[in-house]
């Protein structure tokens, strides 16, 4: 069975400060890991993914995430947050060989001006 935990329901940061959204996962084998963002009344938009290779992956809108196998984590980061980054962020995992994604409960990010 695969699962994802996002330990923080909410993250609040000031504009210009670094932003980190935490994610840990559990899978039986090797994971594929994803981050999605959802703006109010919209669908989920893909941000980035880790499949294999370099542990640091870069994605859309200046976001990046680091895969840490020993800690089973895939935290999302942005060096300098913008007010427009305020949204709901979902981490997701899929085990290789399976096509179904398991999502975390989501983390609401609020960036204040």
Considering beta carbons, is residue 86 or 108 the nearer one to other proteins?
108
Is 82 near other proteins (CB under 8 A)? no
DSSP tag of 97? T
Contact (CB, 8 A) for 16 and 81? yes
53 binds other proteins (CB under 8 A): no
CA angle 39, 7, 65 (to 5 degrees): 65
Q: Which is nearer to other proteins, 5 or 15 (CB)?
A: 5
Residue 62: what are its φ and ψ, rounded to 5°?
80, 10
The three-state secondary structure class of 3 is strand
Q: Does the footprint of other proteins cover residue 69 (CB under 8 A)?
A: no
For position 94 contacting other proteins by CB under 8 A, the verdict is yes
CB nearer to other proteins: pick between 41 and 113: 41
Q: Which is nearer to other proteins, 19 or 47 (CB)?
A: 47
Joined tokens for residue 95:
């085990």
Question: Quick check: 91 and 102 in contact, CB under 8 A?
Answer: no
Contact positions vs other proteins (CB under 8 A): 32, 34, 36, 41-46, 49, 51, 90, 94, 96, 99-101, 103-106
């Amino acid at each position: 069975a695969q699962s994802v935990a996002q330990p923080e329901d909410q993250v609040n940061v000031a504009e210009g400060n670094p932003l980190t959204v935490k994610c840990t996962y559990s899978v039986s084998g090797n994971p594929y890991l994803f981050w999605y963002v959802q703006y109010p009344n919209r669908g989920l938009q893909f941000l980035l993914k880790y499949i294999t290779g370099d542990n640091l992956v870069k994605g859309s809108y200046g976001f990046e995430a680091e895969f840490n196998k020993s800690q089973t984590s895939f935290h999302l980061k942005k060096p300098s947050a913008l007010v427009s980054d305020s949204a709901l962020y979902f981490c997701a995992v899929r085990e290789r060989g399976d096509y179904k994604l398991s999502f975390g409960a989501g983390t609401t990010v609020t960036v204040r001006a």
